[in-house]
Structure 1
């Protein structure tokens, strides 16, 4: 009978020992699975960071492209008439020359037809300049201002005691600008000597 109990105890001990031996055998694969999972998670995190970086760069490039396109469209609207406006400056010059060549007292006792003719030229010049200004072209008014080489072209120096040195003393030819760009610089004479600026 003892043999039966011994056999039963031996079977129980084998049963008890077997589960204890299995976790030891499973712990190596469990660690291996955990390491694989950690490596997979790390790879996913790296890929996620890389994709996020690519998305952010693409968004930044798209934003820069949008801004550049908006600026190009705005510049095209503002400066699209530049060549045409530059060609029209000769017309403005001719109108101004025609008016400057009329002697000051010539219209006082002149024929009414001549007065109407001169008034018509004045009106045409004003209308033409206002139409240019609607398209962003403006006449530069440098008389009495400080000489600015970005907007003025100095032709000579004039000794004028009433003006500070470097001040525009005389405008020989009107200048024009479109937006922030110069179509044609004003040709001017610059004061030399004179009153010192404060």
Structure 2
């Protein structure tokens, strides 16, 4: 015995058998189950992405926080040497030995800086480069070519080829020739 379902909507009549209705109901149930499964997969993926974002954020914070740790580890012996030099300077000390200690400490500092990509800019005798140097004054002279660095007031520094402090320099200026 076939049962039909009749639905009347806005003047249209729809008639389906009981078997067709049950088939449609099964398809709907399967579609809802699949949608529920996809929703759970989405929530799991969303939670995993959120955890990844938080972990990456934490790692970036730690990288910023501890980025200088190795650098400071290299600077500690320099500080120790300076403290020993100060302690030795408070006693009667041979100036030559004190100078030797200061030179050793400077070498330690230079080595530590170089390990981390820091390099000094000492442009004495080179053409003036406004990208790496700051002209403090012009010096009229016939001892050097015009626009050449004749004195370095303060060395500059690069960190991994990026300028962190320009060298402060005095630049040669042509001496005006007397008219005659």
TM-score computed with the length of structure 2 as normaliser: 0.52
- Which residue in the other structure is 1:129 paired with? 106
1:188 aligns with 2:165: no
The structure with the greater share of residues assigned to strand is 2
1:159 aligns with 2:140: yes
Could you tell me which of 38, 43, 52 is aligned with 1:45?
38
- Which residue in the other structure is 1:100 paired with? none
Could you tell me which of 48, 64, 69 is aligned with 2:62?
69
Deviation string, structure 1 residues 79-118 (Cα, Å, up to 9, x no partner) = 686xx98xx8xx9xxxxxxxxxxxxxxxxxxxxxxxx84x
Q: Which runs of 5+ in 1 are unaligned?
A: 1-17, 92-115
1:60, 1:125 → 2: CA distance? 48
Q: Which runs of 5+ in 2 are unaligned?
A: 5-16, 86-93, 176-180
- Greater Rg, structure 1 or structure 2? 1
The structure with the greater share of residues assigned to helix is 1
1:169 aligns with 2:150: yes
1:50, 1:41 → 2: CA distance? 14
2:145, 2:54 → 1: CA distance? 53
Q: Residues 187 and 176 from structure 1, CA distance in 2 versus in 1: closer, same or farther, beyond 3 angstroms? A: closer
3-state SS of paired residue (1:163) = coil
1:79, 1:149 → 2: CA distance? 31
Shift, 1:48, TM fit: 1.8
Q: Residues 158 and 131 from structure 1, CA distance in 2 versus in 1: closer, same or farther, beyond 3 angstroms? A: same
- For this pair of structures, how many residues does the alignment match? 142
TM-score computed with the length of structure 1 as normaliser: 0.49
CA contact (8 A) 1:163 1:169 kept: no
